[in-house]
């Protein structure tokens, strides 16, 4: 056998230009903020300090909301067709500067460049293109003239797909005539701040997009601001519940895109090799930092051993390491805190009695890393089978009948996504009808498109993002 030597292919960082520290983007320009509290934003793959961002305080939030209110007046006086053209222009600019964004995203967040370059950025541009075209067709979307924008929307987004989550939030909000105050996650603010530059470059009216950095305290200030008309949040179910609670009794719109513990059901009549690929993509995509990750593998008993053997073999080929290496499949865990959480749950799985398999691979010395992990011999009651791990950890359960598969799949407070693998069409439709999940991937997994609505049942949240249904998250019926 030829022993191929590994040759890395590292994307250059030259294209990005990171400032020493950043200001908030309010009223169309970067402004000195009131808060003096800065934190470091680091690269999770090297632990190198990339820059400093500010933890915005009450005054900063207030400035941003006021700017968005003024922005709303301007945006409301801009014709829908002009709004559409603004969004088209932004979409084009994103495409033109996409490599820069992709490299920065991988540096700041730790995701493999092949994902930021080939998935995140193309999807970001696609979202702006898609919603650009809706801006002057809102009346056609639901056949109702009474649908109006909320006004000022506070948007709080997570660190797993930093710029893509921004696109999912900002594009539909602007297309429906709202203005936004957006807060990126504190570990991944850099691409949002670069996007702010783009808004300036695109000539978007001042105050339409406001981006302020900060942590949970800043998020809470946005939620509790008296002049916010709607909150859109993506993040954990725990924080989502807190937000829902804080908005109780207030006339503020709310959509929540929260956690998940998706079942990926493989029937014995599935195309096994194809299913193995899909299961690997379902859980190891983006280090498993995906709310809709297929983290519970449900195998029909008869194929369990064969499937697990193939899965372990395939997992072993996953390359873990430098996110900027174009060959890397699995990058860095986003933060030390998240790594601790993953380690904690995995240790619990082992002590509960789960059988663990981890791939043999060398992990870099610095940074935060976790080996691709598979659990078998798991009981449905184990926390690794119930809680969202949000890392590269797959838990296997078995079933005998389709009825049992559906019952196990639905036996969770979450309901974001699910997968079904079978070559039998009628079984796909039967299963999909019964799964309590906002997205069902049949013979595929983790596919996304701006025209395809995304969002959860049950405690995975409410409201949809993407598609015609996604417009409703930013519109309210007015008589």
Partner 1 sequence: MIEIKKTYKNYVGGKYVRSESGKTFTLNLKNDSFEVPLTSKKDIRDAVTSSKVGFEKWSEISPYTKTQILYRLSEMIEGNKDSYVDLLVLCGSTKNQAKKDVETAIENIVWYAGLADKWEQISGNLNPVNGEYFNISHQNPIGVVFSLNSNDNSLTSLLNSIIQPLTVGCSVISFSEESSIIALKFAEDINNSDFPPGSLNILSGQFENVFEDVSKHVEINLISICKEIPNEMLTKIQENASNSVKRIVNMPSIDGISSILSFLETKTVWHPKGT
Give the footprint of partner 1 on this chain (CB under 8 A): 126, 142-144, 146-147, 237, 240-242, 244-245, 247-249, 256, 258, 413, 428, 432, 435-444, 447, 449, 451-455, 457-462, 464, 467-469, 472, 477, 479
Q: Select 164 or 180, whichever has its Cβ closest to partner 1.
A: 164
Q: Select 343 or 404, whichever has its Cβ closest to partner 1.
A: 404
Q: Are 121 and 162 in contact (CB under 8 A)?
A: no
Query: Cα(271)–Cα(275) distance, rounded to whole angstroms?
Result: 6
Q: Are 116 and 102 in contact (CB under 8 A)?
A: yes
Q: Select 40 or 146, whichever has its Cβ closest to partner 1.
A: 146
Query: Cα(222)–Cα(216) distance, rounded to whole angstroms?
Result: 10
**Minimal distance, residue 223 CB to partner 1, in Å:** 12
**Minimal distance, residue 308 CB to partner 1, in Å:** 24
**Minimal distance, residue 19 CB to partner 1, in Å:** 34
Q: What is the DSSP string of 393-456?
A: EEEEEEESSHHHHHHHHH-SS--SEEEEE-S-HHHHHHHHHH---SEEEES--S---TTS-B--
Query: Cα(205)–Cα(199) distance, rounded to whole angstroms?
Result: 9
**Minimal distance, residue 457 CB to partner 1, in Å:** 5
Tokens of 151: 């006004």
Query: Cα(293)–Cα(391) distance, rounded to whole angstroms?
Result: 9
Q: Select 104 or 420, whichever has its Cβ closest to partner 1.
A: 420
Rg (CA), the chain: 22
**Minimal distance, residue 241 CB to partner 1, in Å:** 5
Identify the H or E element spanning 315: helix 304-316
Tokens of 452: 């395809």
Query: Known catalytic residues?
Result: 257, 291
Query: Cα(183)–Cα(192) distance, rounded to whole angstroms?
Result: 9
**Minimal distance, residue 8 CB to partner 1, in Å:** 30
Query: Cα(479)–Cα(281) distance, rounded to whole angstroms?
Result: 46
């Amino acid at each position: 056998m030829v022993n191929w030597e590994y040759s890395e292919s590292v994307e250059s960082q030259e294209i990005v230009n990171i400032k020493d520290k950043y200001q908030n983007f309010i009223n169309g320009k970067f402004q000195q903020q009131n808060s003096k509290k800065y934190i470091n934003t680091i690269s999770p793959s090297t632990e190198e300090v990339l820059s400093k961002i500010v933890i915005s305080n009450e005054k900063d939030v207030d400035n941003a909301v006021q700017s968005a209110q003024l922005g709303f007046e301007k945006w409301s006086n801009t014709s829908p067709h002009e709004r559409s053209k603004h969004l088209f222009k932004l979409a084009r600019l994103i495409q033109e500067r996409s490599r820069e964004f992709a490299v920065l995203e991988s540096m700041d967040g730790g995701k493999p460049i092949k994902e930021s370059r080939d998935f995140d950025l193309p999807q970001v541009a696609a979202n702006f293109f898609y919603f650009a075209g809706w801006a002057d067709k809102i009346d056609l979307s639901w056949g109702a003239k009474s649908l109006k924008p909320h006004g000022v929307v506070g948007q709080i987004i997570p660190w797993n797909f930093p710029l893509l989550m921004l696109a999912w939030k900002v594009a539909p909000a602007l297309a429906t005539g709202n203005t936004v105050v957006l807060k990126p996650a504190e570990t991944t603010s850099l691409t949002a701040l670069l996007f702010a530059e783009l808004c300036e470059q695109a000539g978007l009216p001042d105050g339409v997009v406001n981006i302020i950095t900060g942590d949970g305290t800043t998020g809470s200030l946005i939620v509790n601001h008296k002049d916010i008309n709607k909150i859109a949040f993506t993040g954990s179910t725990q924080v989502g519940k807190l937000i829902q609670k804080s908005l109780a009794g207030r006339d503020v719109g709310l959509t929540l895109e929260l956690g998940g513990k998706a079942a990926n059901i493989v029937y014995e009549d599935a195309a096994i090799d194809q299913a193995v690929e899909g299961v690997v993509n379902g859980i190891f995509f983006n280090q498993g930092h995906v709310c809709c990750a297929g983290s519970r593998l449900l195998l029909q008993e008869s194929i369990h051993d064969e499937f697990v053997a193939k899965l372990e073999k395939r997992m072993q080929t996953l390359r873990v390491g430098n996110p900027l290496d174009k060959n890397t499949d699995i990058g860095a865990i986003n933060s030390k805190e998240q790594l601790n959480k993953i380690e904690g749950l995995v240790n619990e799985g082992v002590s509960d009695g789960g059988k663990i398999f981890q791939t043999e691979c060398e992990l870099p010395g610095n940074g935060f890393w976790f080996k691709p992990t598979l659990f078998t011999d798991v009981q449905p009651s184990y926390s690794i089978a119930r809680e969202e791990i949000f890392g590269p950890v797959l838990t296997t359960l078995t079933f005998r009948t389709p009825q049992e598969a559906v019952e196990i799949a639905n036996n969770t407070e979450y309901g974001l996504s699910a997968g079904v693998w079978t070559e039998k069409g009628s079984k796909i439709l039967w299963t999909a009808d019964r799964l309590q999940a906002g997205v069902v991937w049949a013979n595929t997994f983790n596919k996304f498109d701006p025209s395809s609505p995304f969002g959860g049942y049950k405690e995975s949240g409410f409201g949809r993002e993407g598609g015609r249904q996604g417009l409703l998250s930013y519109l309210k019926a007015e008589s």
